[in-house]
Amino acid sequence: MISEVVLLESRAMRDGVAERTEVLDRVKGLSLLPDGMHVTTAMVAAYFEVGLKAIESVVVDHRAELEGNGYRVLSGAELASFKEASGIQSRSRALALYSRRTILNVAMLLRDSEVARQTRMYLLDMEYTARAQRPADNSVENGGMSLSDHIDQRITHVLGTTVVPMFNALIESSGEHRRELISLREDVEKVTQRLCAHHVRLRNLERTQGPRPFTGIMASIDGMNWREFEHHVAVLLRRDGCTDIIVHGGPGDRGVDITGQTANGRRLVVQCKSFAPYRPVWSGELQKFLGASFVQHRADLALFVATTAFTPDARAIAEEHGVTVVDRAALEKWSAGVPLPVLD
């Protein structure tokens, strides 16, 4: 599953979700210029609630990527024509325009904005839901190639041998629409390059993936609601010798979900978080659990069990204060029958 960090760092991942511009409207209202298609740098900054320099910095660092997603700077006759058509009043000699796709691209690059972070979370939630709804096995072997690989290569072949040459011929014979045809040809070439890169990524992924000993366990856990997950953890605790296990989750749980005793008599408290894999446990959630576990419940052993990863800050707090974190990988092994060492 794509994580927020990977989305920030990987252009390939951003390209894969760049079409989901509807996510922008789920976060907050987006005002557009009179043409109904674009916004200015100032409008982008207002949307993300940051200063102009933050947006300009993103443009400087990622201009080629943004241009591939619709970023344009108008000047001269083109700017004059746009002002006349849209009714914009501006004395600037150049005007930067962002399409909805460009704005989403900025959201995937802008680190110091709560609105951008919320946009990424909504985006990842949509992608996670879409992937979860796809059939688990949609491959049809064709000489060692899956159906999706085969389709990708067929499309690449058609684009390279038919569509691009057709554009070349049209460009040579056209005068009035030459610029538009060149732009369209460049778009087709970009699609071809992305399909080729996608094919390479799939091949590399297949080479690096080895057999997983616990296949299917986390898929089952991801399908649980929060209450089912808490009872699943309770079953694991009892299996490992813990006694007096009580599930408290929900209103009035006083900050912990499960209490009990280990096999050697230590007082145990557990916090359970059933999050989507891309949503990590943050340091604030660890700090809240600290007060509940050691102050209110006087725990000898505190466990924080999650279906996802923990941020570095959260892990540091847990280590400093003696909280045992059970992340996605550890939960998978524990659920498969491997005892949790801290309960010994």
Q: Is the pLDDT of residue 34 over 90?
A: no
State which amino acid sits at residue 125. D
Q: What pLDDT is attached to residue 235?
A: 93
pLDDT of 270 higher than 50: yes
pLDDT for 259 beyond 50:
yes
**Helix 178-208 × helix 147-158 angle, to 10°:** 150
pTM: 0.43
In this prediction, residues 71-85 reach a mean pLDDT of 86
- Residue that the structure tokens 């929900």 belong to: 250
- Tell me how far apart the terminal alpha carbons of the chain are, to the nearest angstrom: 33
Q: Where are the domains of the chain?
A: 4-132, 147-208, 218-343
Q: Which segments of the chain does DSSP mark as H helices, in order?
A: 4-9, 11-16, 23-27, 41-48, 52-68, 76-86, 100-107, 114-132, 147-158, 164-173, 178-208, 217-222, 226-239, 283-290, 312-321, 328-335
Of residues 101 and 153, which shows the higher confidence score?
101
Task: Identify the band that residue 254 occupies on the pLDDT scale cut at 50, 70 and 90.
Answer: low
pLDDT in tens, 102-142: 999 999 999 889 999 888 887 877 666 565 554 444 444 44
Q: Is the pLDDT of residue 153 over 80?
A: no
Radius of gyration of the chain (CA): 26
CA distance 45 to 57: 11
**Average pLDDT score over the chain:** 80
Q: What is the mean pLDDT of residues 252-270?
A: 87
Span 306-319, pLDDT tens digits: 999 999 999 999 99
Q: What is the mean pLDDT of residues 46-53?
A: 94
Residue 16: pLDDT band with limits 50, 70, 90 = confident
Class of domain 218-343: alpha beta
Residue 262 clears pLDDT 50, i.e. is over it: yes
Q: Report the C-alpha dihedral over residues 78, 79, 80, 86, rounded to 10 degrees.
A: 110
